[in-house]
């Protein structure tokens, strides 16, 4: 079984109908997002999965036999044995900042091929982009304090690897997910659970046992019974580590008034000469809670964020879509668009590009243009990643993608980074695209 059948049934039924009718023109589809669930921007992620899919797209005998049992035409299924993607793909590089209605990926191929790519592309891009964007908001709220992703136990099943990858792209410093650490080379971090503490007769015995097991990377969970008393016991163990030539790295608070407790614990540690010990906070945190803690002057050095981050709360999904924008018929480009009764659901016609104008090192505005239009003093955002079915782009490492995000984010004006109430970033249509859209809308209304 191959990834080719990780698709919706209607993609395959349409493919058979295209084949049977002899209708397989070159078509262009755009992947974009109409509405962002929180904030004003998106961090794009997931392109690497799309490229892997395109590079290996084929049907094997097991796929063919399964589809035969679903009632597909035998001759059509024989055609699928030689199926390969032969088209072109342009995309914003992974780690780009994108805004509503901008084509993030543009797929041009015989319509049977372009149609099949839809479901997989949406599945990967929507999920990874949602989580990477959420991560960037959490990281921004922390104002330079490191974020450790602790979400494996609440992740959407096997999506945990994709989600953890996306949180790292978005700026998280580490993960508790050991498999992600091994497979993706992401730094791993973790301390202990309350069960470890309560399994010992005395709290300090649990601390000593942990310090003995991990003298060079000892973090102690101090809120199991009483955070202040736990901090005092952590000081004792910290001094014992010093006597052995080691250092207590940190203590973790997981409940209570994190702001007030962090201030009191900081005093306890500093008064004992343990000013180097870091304070970590966790416990149902998100960007809004972290922002409030920072504004109140919490003495927290690192945050552990799990459920809210790995699931993209409060948005369960990113509503990215994949829409037909152009078909070549008898050698002529025929721009296509959806004109819905809901104005927000109308799409933009034609093969398009996206441009960004940058002034004084900051993003000023974006322009969506027709493919044959150029925008002065602007940078094109779409790059060719697949040509004639072959991957032609360089494949950056995960750390390079993460650095790309940081560089792009530094150019985004602060007003667009606000957690709530951020203004919409300006995205304009070029004169050519605006005129084409008007012409097609008028034509559709006349014909309907």
The rounded distance, in Å, linking the Cα atoms of 369 and 358 is 17
User: Do residue 443 and residue 358 come from a single domain?
Assistant: yes
User: Do residue 88 and residue 188 come from a single domain?
Assistant: no
Cis peptide before 314 (omega within 30 of 0): yes
Examine residue 14 and state whether it is found in any structural domain, yes or no: yes
Q: What is the CATH number of the domain that holds 234?
A: 3.20.20.70
Instruction: Give residue 346's pLDDT band: very low, low, confident or very high (50, 70, 90).
Output: confident
> Which two tokens mark 232?
């005092």
User: Do residue 90 and residue 157 come from a single domain?
Assistant: no
Q: What is the pLDDT of residue 37?
A: 92
Mean pLDDT of 377-393: 98
Q: What is the CATH number of the domain that holds 410?
A: 3.20.140.10
Whether residue 447 is predicted with pLDDT greater than 80 in this model: the reply is no
Contact between 237 and 228 (Cβ < 8 Å): no
DSSP code string of 71-131? T--HHHHHHHTT----SEEEEPPTT-EE-TT--SEEEEEEHHHHHHHHHHHHHHHHHHHHH
Q: What is the pLDDT of residue 341?
A: 59
Which are the contacts of 46, defined by CB distance < 8 A and separation ≥ 6? 94, 124, 125, 126, 127, 128, 129, 162, 166
Which of 279, 310, 341 represents a domain boundary (last residue)?
A: 310
| Average pLDDT, rounded, for the chain | 96
Instruction: Give residue 448's pLDDT band: very low, low, confident or very high (50, 70, 90).
Output: low
- Are β-strands 302-305 and 146-149 bridged in parallel, bridged antiparallel, or unpaired? parallel
Examine residue 315 and state whether it is found in any structural domain, yes or no: no
Residue 208 lies in domain: 133-310
User: Do residue 68 and residue 86 come from a single domain?
Assistant: yes
Mean pLDDT of 96-117: 98
User: Do residue 137 and residue 108 come from a single domain?
Assistant: no
User: Do residue 435 and residue 340 come from a single domain?
Assistant: yes
- Are β-strands 427-429 and 362-370 bridged in parallel, bridged antiparallel, or unpaired? parallel
188-224 pLDDT tens trace: 999 899 999 999 999 999 999 999 999 999 999 999 9
Mean pLDDT of 225-243: 98
Q: What is the pLDDT of residue 443?
A: 82
User: Do residue 82 and residue 138 come from a single domain?
Assistant: no
User: Do residue 229 and residue 291 come from a single domain?
Assistant: yes
Mean pLDDT of 122-148: 98
Q: What is the pLDDT of residue 344?
A: 64
Kindly report the three-state secondary structure assignment for every residue of 265-290. HHHHHHHCCCCCCEEEECCCCCHHHH
User: Do residue 408 and residue 425 come from a single domain?
Assistant: yes
Q: How many domains does the chain have?
A: 2
63-86 pLDDT tens trace: 999 999 999 999 999 999 999 999
Examine residue 20 and state whether it is found in any structural domain, yes or no: yes
Instruction: Give residue 1's pLDDT band: very low, low, confident or very high (50, 70, 90).
Output: confident
Q: What is the pLDDT of residue 16?
A: 98
């Amino acid at each position: 079984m191959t990834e080719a059948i990780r698709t919706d049934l209607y993609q395959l039924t349409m493919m058979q109908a295209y084949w049977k009718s002899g209708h397989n023109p070159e078509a262009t589809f755009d992947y974009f997002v109409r509405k962002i669930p929180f904030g004003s921007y998106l961090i794009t992620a997931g392109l690497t999965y799309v490229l892997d899919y395109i590079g290996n797209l084929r049907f094997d005998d097991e796929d063919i036999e399964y589809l035969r049992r679903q009632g597909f035409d035998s001759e059509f299924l024989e055609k699928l044995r030689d199926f390969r993607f032969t088209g072109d793909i342009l995309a914003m590089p992974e780690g780009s900042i994108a805004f509503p209605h901008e084509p993030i990926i543009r797929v041009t191929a015989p319509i049977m091929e372009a149609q099949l790519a839809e479901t997989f592309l949406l599945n990967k891009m929507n999920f990874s982009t949602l989580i990477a964007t959420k991560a960037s908001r959490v990281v921004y709220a922390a104002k330079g304090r490191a974020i450790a992703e602790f979400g494996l136990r609440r992740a959407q099943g096997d999506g945990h690897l994709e989600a953890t990858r996306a949180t790292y792209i978005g700026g998280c410093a580490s993960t508790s997910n050991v498999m992600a650490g091994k497979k993706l080379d992401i730094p791993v971090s973790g301390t202990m659970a309350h069960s470890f503490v309560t399994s010992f007769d005395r709290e300090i015995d649990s601390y000593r046992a942990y310090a003995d097991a991990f003298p060079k990377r000892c973090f102690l969970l101090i809120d199991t019974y009483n955070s202040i008393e736990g901090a005092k016991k952590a000081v004792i163990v910290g001094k014992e580590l010093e006597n052995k030539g080691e250092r207590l790295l940190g203590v973790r608070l997981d409940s209570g008034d994190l702001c007030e407790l962090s201030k009191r614990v900081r005093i306890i540690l500093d008064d004992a000469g343990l000013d180097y010990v870091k304070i970590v906070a966790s416990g149902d945190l998100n960007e809004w809670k972290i922002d409030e803690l920072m504004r109140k002057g919490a003495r927290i050095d690192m945050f552990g964020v799990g459920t809210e981050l790995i699931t993209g709360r409060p948005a369960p999904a990113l509503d990215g879509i994949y829409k037909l924008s152009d078909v070549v018929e008898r050698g002529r480009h025929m721009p296509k668009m959806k004109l819905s009764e809901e104005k927000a659901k109308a799409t933009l016609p034609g093969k398009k590009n996206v441009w960004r104008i940058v002034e004084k090192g900051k993003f000023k505005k974006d322009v969506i243009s027709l493919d044959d239009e150029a925008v002065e003093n602007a940078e094109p955002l779409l790059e060719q990643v697949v040509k004639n079915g072959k991957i032609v782009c360089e494949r950056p490492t995960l750390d390079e993608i993460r650095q790309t995000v940081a560089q792009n984010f530094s150019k985004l004006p602060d007003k667009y980074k606000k957690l709530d109430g951020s203004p919409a970033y300006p995205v304009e249509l070029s004169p050519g695209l605006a005129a084409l859209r008007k012409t097609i809308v008028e034509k559709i209304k006349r014909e309907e």
